[in-house]
Amino acid sequence: MKERSIEEIIQKVSLWRRLHNGVLKNGNLVRYTLEEAATKVGVSKKSLDDYLLQLRSGKKYNFNFQDHKHAKVGVLRAFVKKMKAQNSSFQKLGSSE
C-alpha cells in the first residue's frame, strides 16, 4: 500500500468523522458506527484512528499542515515523534530540579 499524503488523510478522517456524526439522507439523519463509516471511506478503522491521533498531535505541537499538505504522512509521524521526545526530555529536566 502506498503511503498517503497529509492532505489525503485529512480528507479521509474528516469524511469518516462526518459519517459517524451523521449525514442527511432523504431528509433523515443517518449515523454510522465508526466501523461502518471506515468501510464507506475505504480505509480501516485502525488506520483512521491512528491518523486522527497523528493529526491531533500535530495540531498540539503546531505542525504546519499547509506547508506540508503534499508530503507523506511519515513527515507528520516523524515530527510528532520528535516533539514528544523533546517534550519528554523537558519534563524530565523539570522534575529533577
Structural domain boundaries in the chain: 6-95
Model pTM score: 0.86
* Pairwise CA distance, residues 87 & 64, whole Å: 18
How far apart are alpha carbons 20 and 33 in whole angstroms? 6
**Which of 90, 86, 1, 85 shows the shortest CA–CA distance to 43?**
1
Summarize pLDDT for 18-75 with one digit per residue, the tens: 999 999 999 999 999 999 999 999 999 999 999 999 999 999 999 999 999 999 999 9
